[in-house]
Structure 1
């Protein structure tokens, strides 16, 4: 099963594409879509949409696992990131790829076994699980891979996380 994991963002959106076969992972690709703050907001959203549409077309994932937004303090930033996340969802939906969303707590639980694990623990587990030489950078890329791994580990429960409608 080809799983496409996304850490949604406006400035940096990390992704990881994994092939999950018989409890084993094969890393297909990982990276980030980056937009510049000097670009007009609609152009940034279009870039994200176009890049993800191209990636979905190229790799033909069977599922997209995306991290739910974690809102902390800055409402303006949260709104912009939420709009970007909507573009990620639209790109997958337009390609008819099943969507699954996971909270940061669920992703940490799925990788480390502890929902309050720190970022470094999660990154080390990504490195170990995927047999990588080093932790993928920037952090957003590692988070995209983490979403894909979490989905693979949650497959028997996946229907509980599927985005059906809003």
Structure 2
């Protein structure tokens, strides 16, 4: 991280695949540090999967030392079993942030999309395209990683906007 820079960890939690993305902003320029996924095996019991998510996020925090984390707000799923699994995965990721003292900011999915694409109902391919443009990435990445980067960039956009408005 450069002088005056901020490192943000974006997270897209899932019980089988948790996307992550780390970005650094220095003087209004955003750059990609790392992006990828934390994958768990379907056959592994729930406690072990949650442990892998926690450990994976904790390792990212230790390696990059983000000052803040960003995640999409919880949405209501049609399938209650899926919603519970998503909530558990999200909890494991957020617990790693909490233990490390990294504050977490949550954003509605429509705000994330609007922040990058200009439309709250944009599809994932449009969001991924804009993430690539903002970060100067040409190579394809996992959708979960792209979603995590989108929420991290959204967080930086929101911080910049609030600063311009004089809000804290």
User: Is this a same-fold pair by TM over 0.5?
Assistant: yes
Q: Secondary structure at the match of 1:116?
A: coil
Per-residue deviation, 1:119: 1.2
Find the partner of 2:154 among 150, 155, 165.
Answer: 150
Q: Secondary structure at the match of 2:144?
A: helix
Counterpart Cα distance in 2 of 1:156 and 1:132: 22
The residue aligned with 1:140 is 144
Per-residue deviation, 1:82: 0.3
Residue 125 (1) aligns with residue 135 (2)? no
Q: Deviations over 1:17-39 (max 9, x none)?
A: 00011221111100100011100
Per-residue deviation, 1:116: 1.1
Contact (CA 8 Å) 1:52, 1:91: kept in 2 or not?
Answer: yes
The residue aligned with 1:76 is 81
Q: Which runs of 5+ in 2 are unaligned?
A: 1-5, 164-168
Q: Which runs of 5+ in 1 are unaligned?
A: 160-166
1:87–1:157 CA distance, 2 compared to 1 (3 A): farther
The residue aligned with 2:102 is 97
Q: Secondary structure at the match of 1:154?
A: helix
Q: Secondary structure at the match of 1:36?
A: coil
The residue aligned with 1:26 is 31
Residue 7 (1) aligns with residue 12 (2)? yes
Which 10-residue stretch deviates more, 16-25 or 70-79? 70-79
Q: Deviations over 1:29-50 (max 9, x none)?
A: 0010001110011000011111
The residue aligned with 1:164 is none
| TM-score after normalising by structure 1 | 0.90
Counterpart Cα distance in 1 of 2:137 and 2:15: 27
| TM-score after normalising by structure 2 | 0.89
